Structure 1
Amino acid sequence: MTRLKARLLEKIQEHRPRTQRLNKEFGDVVIDQVTISQALGGARDIHALVTDISYLDYQEGIRFRGKNIPETFAALPTAPGGEYPTVESFWYFLLTGEVPTKEDTEELVADFQIRGQVPSYVFDVIRALPKDSHPMVMLSAAVLSMQKDSKFAAAYHGMKKNDYWDPMFEDASDLVARLPQIAAFIYRYKYKNGDIIAPKPGLDMGANFAHMMGIAKPYDDVARMYFILHSDHESGNVSAHTTHLVASALSDAYYSFSAGLNGLAGPLHGLANQEVLDWILSFQKQLNGAEPTEENVKKALWDTLNSGHVIPGYGHAILRKTDPRYTAQMEFCQKHLPTDPLFKLVNMIYHVAPGVLTEQGKTKNPWPNVDAQSGVIQWYYGLREYDFYTVLFGVGRGLGVLANITWDRALSYPLERPKSVTTAMLEEWAAKGGRK
């Protein structure tokens, strides 16, 4: 048993009594109320999910196991020759809430080298799809194809409920380790004439992904940063909630994560990053080579709003300030690509757009989210096939959602089954001023 798995078991055994006591002794304590607008508005802001992996604060942004983004980057062991933590150390941290030692991290990097060997049939599945299929279709199909080898599915019959977490952990770890190679294969197969680059032994996940993509340093740090920043965002977003929902039926990690990826592919979720970059490139053309200034950017933003369109990448369902994930990427750009024309435009939009949106008065949050910055970095390092960007998002998102469903199994969370009401019921309660 690896250090991570042994420590995770200790954590699970410590945590189970807390959940059991809350359910048994305090199950009737009211923690929220539901309004008609919440029932009709996608269950927005209803506190009805539990996760200890991450928490999204309205002002602070995401916290991973209690640490904000700068604290997370500072605490975790950095990759050899890199500026950012290894993805493996972050996986350890998400699962246990503890910062791994150098030895813990080295063991996990070695463990992922073994787990990361992708079965050959997965590549056959990708090749069998039409080459003009969206890369997210390829990723989802590749993940689903591995279900036949699920350790949870094989062990389910006759296994004790308290032991469900073990094979789920194994499936989740296998999936996390394999996702970078599958993603790189999709990219090279679809966009580089099938010129596949094999993984290189001895590299951590970020470095190996950069190697398999064929992109030189510091793209290894870009990969580490990107996967960590996109890993988790509470349980209520579409990809996380879908993965959790499917797993609550005791579906294995492959069924569950494939479903989550399908949700991530929606234009209101993960697909938004490619739409933002497409808009920024069009914006750049509108300037006709002119240096971005407050004046010309402000005019172009108002032209966008007055034509009935939104400013992509601005606003967030929860946050009421600049997304710290945006800030983390902006700081990378300021260090590594400060004079890049596209970054200069994005940076000017950042300085101008909040004021324009505030003046317009139609948004609760005029600040940028993670999508407003992420595509610029990929574009700069030569990854310009932006319909692939959601695949990158998917690799990172796997870390958070797979850690979550491992803990869901460990704590024996039940099948998720909300109750529905009819429109007539809502109308009746609206007339009475509430449900009485």
Structure 2
Amino acid sequence: MLKNTVRSLKDEIKELIPQKTQQFNLFRKKFKDVKIDTITVNSILSGMRGNKSMFWQGTTLDPIEGIRFNNFTLSQCQTSLPGLNQNNHSNIFLPESMLWFLMTGGKIPTLQQSLQLSNDLSERTKNGNLPPNVNNILSQLPKKMHPMTQLSIGLLLLQENSFFQKNYENGTLNKDTYWEDTLEDSLNLIAMMPLLAGKIYSNMINEGKPLGQFNPSKDWSYNICSLIGINKNSDSSNISNLSNRQLEDFVNLMRLYLGIHVDHEGGNVSAHSTHLVGSALTDPYLSYSSGINGLAGPLHGLAAQEVVRFLIEMNSNISSPKNLLEIENYLWNLLSCKRVIPGYGHAVLRNTDPRFTSLLNFVHERSQEFANDSHVQLMQNLTKVAPKVLTEHGKCQNPYPNVDSASGILFYHYGLKQTLFMTVIFACSRAIGPLSQLVWDRIYGLPIERPKSLDLNSLKKLVTSP
């Protein structure tokens, strides 16, 4: 473990607060009455898509460039944020580096700071164990219960340890210090995600018996891999049958996946749910459990598993994943039956998702590893065919692949066959973005979120009145 010889994350945030809050308050005072956009009736009736009505500090989404993290593109993050640089894959940064980057509003940590934060997260797990009552209750859940339901229950059980909730009830908090307990809760929650993920996966495939051990000297991503069985010789876990090189690649895939899924603007369901519930001064555990429940929706976090099912089904119905003409005919038949092509299109993006590109680069760097995987080959060849078909079809605003096109099938390649569990991994990553925002919601003193709703009669009056 590293000794505390560098400034902590909390110290960095505390130093930033006076400058950041002054900028925030001056901007709000000066421009509070300036109109940004005009909201149409269609926007109100179509899920408020595109309404510019929510403050979110850490990330923005550009239709062409993709996601920006504190104004850094993903590519810039991959070259700037520190990682462990195993096998010279320097584009894989530690998710802890991104956590620091988002929590500090854009300060790039050193590798030492990232490792210190990793050590801090490990120490918050109390020797790598879930609280006994949490472990006992999770052990009693039906083994076929949806893994996201188990995760939501786990977070709610951890809520009794919330510093914010306890100190608020005791009357020992004031508005200026709300952020400190929110930070403590958020870091404790993030620290516990590998333990929850490991417990849920063991419930699914190993009767709740541990599949691996927590290693306090390793990073956050490694421990997720360890707790789902990469180091245990067990017939229950396909992951444990990998070679040493494959195990190393699997851990690097986990680091890559967790690093690029942390946040995606504030308007997506998991982020917005966390922010909305948190706006009522709800503690991070309750707030993020609401985000988890949103992430479990088929139109949000379950997309990666749908792509896996699609690729497996398609491969069983074509002669070869390399036959582009056959792939094209299959896609046209699919669209003619009013089905969709999973993994293509996006609510905001109008170009290939940079996160997909980063995963594709991961495949290219390990071309021999994936050379005989027909599902990965099909995933790659679909990118040559699907955009053309969707463009000709004419009903898709963005015919290009999104991150879900590749993420699930890569985990599947390394032996993670429980597709429902893939969203739990997503949830581990997504905790970082919304909880970083929740800390800054407290710092800025954002109020409870309460938009005005309208019924159809009210809308009619607005559009027909002179």
TM over 0.5: yes
Which residue number corresponds to residue 329 of structure 1?
359
Q: Counterpart of 1:168 in structure 2: which amino acid?
A: T
Cα deviation 1:159-186 (Å, max 9, x = unaligned)? 1101100000000001111101210221
Cα deviation 1:97-118 (Å, max 9, x = unaligned)? 1111132122212211111233
Which residue number corresponds to residue 238 of structure 2?
none
Aligned-partner Cα distance in 1 for 2:461–2:215: 64
Which residue number corresponds to residue 112 of structure 1?
121
Aligned-partner Cα distance in 2 for 1:120–1:353: 49
Which residue number corresponds to residue 103 of structure 1?
112
Cα deviation 1:203-256 (Å, max 9, x = unaligned)? 011122222222321111111111111110000000000000000000000000
Aligned-partner Cα distance in 2 for 1:259–1:194: 25
**Displacement of 1:80:** 6.1
**The one of 222, 225, 231 aligned to 1:210:** 225
Given that 1:125 and 1:141 are in contact with CA atoms closer than 8 Å, whether structure 2 keeps it comes out as no
Cα deviation 1:241-289 (Å, max 9, x = unaligned)? 000000000000000000000000000000111112111110111114x
**The one of 141, 144, 151 aligned to 2:153:** 141
Which residue number corresponds to residue 153 of structure 1?
165
Which residue number corresponds to residue 185 of structure 1?
199
Which residue number corresponds to residue 87 of structure 1?
95
* Count of aligned pairs: 432
Q: Counterpart of 1:116 in structure 2: which amino acid?
A: T
Which residue number corresponds to residue 240 of structure 2?
none
SS at match of 2:316: helix
SS at match of 1:413: coil
Which residue number corresponds to residue 77 of structure 2?
72
Is 1:200 the counterpart of 2:215? The answer is: yes
Aligned-partner Cα distance in 1 for 2:315–2:96: 38
SS at match of 1:221: helix
Is 1:388 the counterpart of 2:388? The answer is: no
Aligned-partner Cα distance in 1 for 2:321–2:279: 52
Aligned-partner Cα distance in 1 for 2:18–2:56: 16
Cα deviation 1:329-379 (Å, max 9, x = unaligned)? 111112224412111101111110011011010111111111111111100
Cα deviation 1:399-432 (Å, max 9, x = unaligned)? 1111111111111110000001121122233345
**The one of 46, 60, 63 aligned to 1:58:** 63
Which residue number corresponds to residue 431 of structure 2?
398
Aligned-partner Cα distance in 2 for 1:323–1:69: 10
Is 1:28 the counterpart of 2:36? The answer is: no
Q: CA RMSD in A?
A: 1.5
Q: Counterpart of 1:89 in structure 2: which amino acid?
A: S
Aligned-partner Cα distance in 1 for 2:15–2:428: 28
Structure 2, unaligned runs of 5 or more: 231-246
Given that 1:79 and 1:204 are in contact with CA atoms closer than 8 Å, whether structure 2 keeps it comes out as no
**Displacement of 1:318:** 0.3
Aligned-partner Cα distance in 2 for 1:429–1:105: 53
SS at match of 1:217: helix
**Displacement of 1:128:** 2.1
Aligned-partner Cα distance in 2 for 1:362–1:342: 27
Structure 1, unaligned runs of 5 or more: none
SS at match of 1:304: helix
Q: Counterpart of 2:133 in structure 1: which amino acid?
A: Y
Q: Counterpart of 2:8 in structure 1: which amino acid?
A: R
**Displacement of 1:194:** 3.0
Aligned-partner Cα distance in 2 for 1:345–1:102: 37
SS at match of 2:37: coil
Which residue number corresponds to residue 127 of structure 1?
139
Aligned-partner Cα distance in 1 for 2:159–2:452: 30
Which residue number corresponds to residue 51 of structure 2?
46
Which residue number corresponds to residue 280 of structure 1?
311
Q: Report the identity percentage.
A: 38
Which residue number corresponds to residue 236 of structure 2?
none
Given that 2:355 and 2:403 are in contact with CA atoms closer than 8 Å, whether structure 1 keeps it comes out as yes
SS at match of 2:68: strand
Q: Mean alpha-carbon deviation: is it higher for 235-244 or for 268-277?
A: 268-277
SS at match of 1:286: coil
